[in-house]
Chain A
C-alpha cells in the first residue's frame, strides 16, 4: 500500500488481523470459533463502523481511512463481514440513519436485483449472493420506493435466507424480502441510486482484491526462493522469474487502479462520471488481475498450492469470488463501453486525460 494511506487506523487494523486473523491459523481451524474474538477486537477498535459519523454512533473515519483498512483486510483474506459492515454503515449514513453495533451486510449486490419499499412500509424482492447474510444480524437495503430510492435497515431474522456459499466458502445467501418490516428507513440523497451502491461496492472489492494480490505475490516469491528443484531454488529459473514478474505486473495494475478509484471516491461529492470511470475500471481490471494472478501463483506453488492445507486458496478463491459482487467485470465493461461509445471518439481522449 501507498505510505500515504498507511494511516494509524490501517495500522490498527493490521495489528488486529495479525493477532486474530492469521490466515494459516484460520485455515487449520476446525470451527469458526476464531471469528468471535476477531470481531470483538475489530469492534473495540471501532473499525466496522469506521464510515459512520460519530453523531450516528460510528468512528467517523474518512473514506480514505476506510479504504486503507480494506486494502489491509484483503492482504489477510479476511473472512468476516468487515467490508460489508463498513459499506452498510456508510449506506445508512447516506440517509442519516444510525447504525447498530452488529455485523451487517448490504443488498442488493447484483446490479439487476431489485428490492421495493412498498406503500405499507415493508420491503419486497430478492437479492442474490448477499455476502455473509447468515452471519449478520442486520441488512442495509437500497430499495425502490415508487421511483425514489430509499435506504432501510432490516433484521436478518425478518428475511428469508437460502443456504449458499461462494468459492471460498464464505456465506453468500439469496435473501428474499416478503413484506419484511425495516427497523428504520429514510430517503437516499438526490442522485444516489443502485448504480452508486454498485460503484462503491466495486471500489471496496477492488481494494480487497489488490490487498489479496499483494499477499499472493509475497507468498509466491517466498516460496520460489525456498523451494528447491533440479538442485536450485525454482526462483532461479528464468521461466519462473518471468511468471513472477507477470504476477507483479498484475498486482501493480490492481494496486494502482484500486487506489485511484478509492482516492476518487474519497475526494468526490457525488457519484459522477469520474467515479464511474474509476470504479468501473477498477472492478474490471482487478477482476482480470485476480484471474491472471491466481493462475500464476498456483502455477508457482504446484501441487501443494491447491491442497486444502495450504493457505493460498484462502486468497485466490476469495478474490475470484469477489469478482461477482457489485457487478462483475463483464457487466462493468459493457456499461463502460456503452458510455464511451455514446460520448464518441472525439470525447474519448479528454475523458482518459481527465483522470
Chain B
C-alpha cells in the first residue's frame, strides 16, 4: 500500500528571482504596447504569433530542452516561473504553450534525429503551434477506444477518421495524435494505438470549427481522408502508445495552468472590495488566498520533484484535481462575496464582465486534459485501490 504522499517544501532557487523580474518587465511592455489586456480575459485572440515569437526570442520556450535542439537547458523551476507569470497576467501564450509543455517533450523522446533537428528549434522560436489529437466522436476519456485508423502504405501511413474537441487545430502546424494501427487484443484493450506526428498541411485534412458556449472558437473537428503520414513521423512503438502515456502526465497535470485559469476574477474581487473589506468579505477572500497558496506550494513541490528526477504521478494528478475544482468554483465564490456590494462600486462593470466569461468557461476546467473522474481513478490506483 503506497499511501505516502510526498510534497517536499521546495522553494524556487535565487536564480528564479532575476528571471521573474525579467518576465514581468517583458509582460509590462507587451501590455503597454497593447498586445493584450490583463483585465479583459477572453476578449483578445489567445493565439498571437507575434507575441509567441517574441517569447521565443527571449528564450522562454523549450527552456528545459537540450541546446542542440534550440532549447536552453534551464531547470523545471525556471520554466515554472515563466509559466506562472504568463498565466497570472493572462498573456496570450496558447500558440506555443501546448508544444512547450507536452508535444516538444514527446518529440524529444521519440522522434528521429533529423525530425527533432527540424521541428524543435522552430518550437523554441515560437513559430509552431501544436494540437493534440486524442478525443474522437465516439471516445473521449476512454482514450484507448479511439477508432481513427492509420493503415500501412508505401513509405508511411494513411489516416482515415476524425478527431474532435481539438483545441487550436485551426491554426496548428502539427498535431500529435493517437491512431489505430491494430485492433485491441483480448488481453489488452489498450493495445493497437500508435502515436503519430501529423503535418496539418497534409492533403486530406479538413478542420471544421466548433464554437464553445462562451462564444469563442475553442474547439475543432479534424477530419482525415487518406491523409498521408511518413514513417519517420511515427512516435515510439507501433501499437504501443499506451506504454508511453504515463510519464509525461505529471508534467501536464501539475502546472500553474491547472489552477490559474480564472485567476483574473480573484484580482477583480480584491479591486472591488477595496482596502477595508467587511468581515464576511475579508474571511471569504482569506480562505481563497489560503487555498490558492496551498495549491501553488503543491504545484511548485511537484515541479521540484520532477526536476529532481522523481515521477510524482499521484501527486501531479492530485494537484490537477484540487486545482481545477478550485478554479472552477472561484467565479461562484467571487459572485457570492460581492453579492451585497453597492452596485455603483468602482470596477463593478469590469467584474460583471469577467464573472460572466469565467462562469461560461468554468465547466470545461474539470474536463480538459483528463476529467475529474479519470484523475480520481488514477489517484485511487496510486493508493492501491484498483
Contacts and interface: CB of A to CB of B under 8 A. Distances in A.
A345 B271 contact: yes
A251 B20 CA distance: 31
Chain B facing A: main interface SS: helix
Given A252-B5, A355-B296, A241 B290 contact: no
Interface stretch (A34-42, A92-100, A218-226, A318-326): A218-226
Interface stretch (A49-57, A102-110, A117-125, A253-261): A253-261
B69 interface: no
B318 interface: yes
A341 B273 contact: yes
A344 B277 CA distance: 11
B275 interface: yes
A335 to B, nearest CB: 7
Given A221-B3, A256-B7, A257-B294, A334 B386 contact: no
Contacts of B380: 235, 241-242, 244-245
Nearest to B301: A256
B145 to A, nearest CB: 18
Contacts of B232: none
B282 A221 contact: no
Interface string A250-291: 011101110110111000000000000110111011001000
B289 interface: yes
A348 B270 contact: yes
Interface residues of A, number: 60
Interface in B33-53: none
Interface stretch (B92-100, B155-163, B234-242, B369-377): B369-377
A348 B283 contact: no
B290 A285 contact: yes
B297 A334 contact: no
A53 B345 CA distance: 54
Q: Which of B1, B85, B293 has most A Cβ within 10 Å?
A: B293
A58 B299 CA distance: 37
B238 to A, nearest CB: 33
A340 interface: yes
Interface in B7-24: 7-9, 11, 20
Contacts of B292: 352
A213 to B, nearest CB: 10
Contacts of B273: 341
B286 A336 contact: yes
B293 A277 contact: yes
B1 A218 contact: yes
A44 interface: no
Contacts of B1: 218, 221-222, 225
Nearest to A278: B293
Tell me which of A235, A248, A263 has the highest count of chain B C-beta atoms within 10 A of its own C-beta: A248
A163 interface: no
A4 interface: yes
A217 interface: yes
B261 interface: no
A333 interface: yes
A2 B6 contact: yes
Contacts of B379: 245, 248-249
Q: Is the interface of A mostly helix, strand, loop or mixed?
A: helix
Contact of B286 (A235, A245, A259, A340): A340
B289 A337 contact: yes
Given A225-B385, A348-B267, A246 B376 contact: yes
A249 B286 contact: no
A256 B385 contact: no
B88 A349 contact: yes
B289 A338 contact: no
Contacts of A251: 5
A263 B275 contact: no
Given A2-B8, A221-B385, A333-B290, A353 B283 contact: no
Nearest to B373: A242
A345 B286 contact: no
Contacts of B267: 345, 348-349
A260 B88 CA distance: 22
Contacts of A246: 321, 376
A281 to B, nearest CB: 4
B283 A330 contact: yes
B321 A338 contact: no
Nearest to A284: B290
A4 B282 CA distance: 36
Nearest to A236: B386
B315 interface: yes
Contacts of A339: 286
A333 B383 CA distance: 32
A214 B383 CA distance: 12
Contact of B283 (A238, A263, A285, A334): A334
Interface string B314-347: 1100100110000000000000000000000000
23 contacts: A221-B384, A222-B1, A238-B377, A241-B377, A246-B321, A249-B318, A249-B379, A256-B294, A257-B298, A260-B9, A280-B286, A281-B294, A288-B287, A329-B287, A330-B283, A333-B283, A333-B285, A336-B286, A337-B281, A337-B283, A340-B286, A344-B270, A344-B271
Interface of B: 1, 3-9, 11, 20, 84-85, 88, 266-268, 270-271, 273-277, 279, 281-287, 289-298, 301, 314-315, 318, 321-322, 373, 375-377, 379-380, 383-386
The 5 closest A-B pairs by CB, nearest first: A333-B286, A337-B286, A337-B282, A336-B286, A245-B376
